[in-house]
Structure 1
């Protein structure tokens, strides 16, 4: 594979569910018999946000695909949706296509770099843009910058939603800068994360949600709090406090994406 050695591991408890990992780092979990079974907590948070978009089919753009867990969920929960996935790892795409299938209604997968793919999309053509693209456990380059974020805002319709998965650890230095970037581009932003990650007690995933329109903050707060592993929903004054004096990320001033500790590599 372009970014490492890929493995497909069958779930011992589910006949047609699979874990996709690259160099020992979990990339996707997909249940081919039940696309609504979102095993990873952060993907479940993605699903919660998708569930609260206006009813009906969606036009969705996904940057980072792996086993296409979220696109399969959208296709199953919102029939008639049109979805495009950009993934830079052509060999991984072909492995998934051959072993797990990619004949999902309304879904197209294109092998390309995320930033290059964004430049090809027209204004106001997406209801949902999702960034979940990692290379060897770190966020793919250039996707967290102000320049990339403004491209995503250009592509989104109102009241479309931007979803991004990042990882960070103690002090959340990278997450704070991502937050500062999003707040400069979008008027509405919230963050969903495990309380232990927010407090810097462990390295983990953080899900950012942004839009030009009001977000369903109350509903997402309630859903996150009632999850099997409760998640914090940070917004408003608390979110501004978290951002602090962090500055937006730009193409000319882009810090490296945080590297997870070795004992965390199987968790994402």
Structure 2
């Protein structure tokens, strides 16, 4: 169990790009929720960094857990409250991590209120995802986590063929890309994003809850890409047996999911999905 340095102060805080809110979890004594624009963005348990509250983050943790054992070199595009960097540091001691996050005010808030300084071997680069990736060395990462949102919307410039080619450059030959996306009815953005990943990586799969996969509700989809074969059987079992009860779509089923959707390219007039107003209880 991690040592809690100090008690955070709940409330609203100005950051570089607007305002965020820190909320206490009344069910867990050290649990905190970071909200942006009224949208729950991150959850951290300051006493237990291995506790992942959001269902989509649990799925991302499932993927991280099936990667080869030992420390990892990780690049995170998108910081939030640094939930996954904390998780990797706790479950893979000795890991080296870089977080690319454009909101300097948010990073400072997380440092001051949510104990970010306690995470070992972590570097933060204050820049956007496109510029930040260009500054990362070739073949230097075992894992890249792409989890960048403006409110509840994924920036389209981080979903293009050109950008994912740059991410592929950063990864070692056996490295893995882990992407958090969100979509709703029809899943057209998700289908195009999967098609984009399939241009950059030989092996691709998708994890999501059945209701989201059927387009019945807006939600998160976790995409995984690698040049090496992925541990599909383990991911199928882990996803189905976890708290989230997700499906793992791969192989011919993934080809059918894409259904001829075109990859996303720089400059295309693509609009990322916007969640319905009732998704977050508004």
Q: How far does residue 140 in structure 1 lie from its aligned partner after superposition?
A: 2.4
1:28 — aligned with what? 42
Give structure 2 stretches of 5+ with no counterpart.
1-14
| C-alpha distance 152-254 of structure 1, shift in aligned 2 (>3 A) | farther
What does residue 239 of structure 2 align with?
Answer: 224
Q: Does 1:124 align with 2:139?
A: yes
Contact in 2 for aligned 1:3/1:135 (Cα 8 Å): no
What is the CA distance between 1:90 and its match in structure 2?
Answer: 1.3
Unaligned runs of 5+ in 1: none
Q: Distance in 2 between matches of 1:178 and 1:132?
A: 14
Look up the match of 2:76.
62
Give yes or no for the alignment of 1:91 onto 2:105: yes
**Paired residue for 1:215?**
230
Instruction: Write the distance in 1 (CA, Å) between the matches of 2:26 and 2:39.
Output: 19
The equivalent residue for 1:201 is: 216
RMSD value, Cα: 1.2
d(CA) in 1 for partners of 2:124, 2:135? 14
Determine whether 1:100 maps to 2:119.
Answer: no
1:72 aligns with 2:86: yes
Taking structure 2 as the reference length, the TM-score comes to 0.92
Deviations 1:133-172 (A, max 9, x none): 1012111241000011000100001211100001000010
Give the 3-state SS of the residue equivalent to 1:202 in structure 2. coil
Contact (CA 8 Å) 1:137, 1:265: kept in 2 or not? no
3-state SS, counterpart of residue 32 of structure 2: strand
Pair 266,65 (structure 1): closer, same or farther in 2 beyond 3 Å = farther
What is residue 6 of structure 2 aligned with on the other side? none
- Give the C-alpha shift of residue 254 in structure 1: 4.8
- How far the C-alpha of 1:266 sits from its partner, in A, is 5.7
Instruction: State the Cα distance separating 1:14 from its structure 2 match.
Output: 1.4
How far residue 208 of structure 1 moved from its aligned partner, in angstroms, is 0.1
In the alignment, which of 266, 271, 275 is matched to residue 251 of structure 1? 266
SS in 2 for 1:108: strand
Of 19, 22, 25 in structure 2, the residue corresponding to residue 8 of structure 1 is 22
User: Would you say the 8 A contact 2:142–2:174 is kept in 1?
Assistant: yes
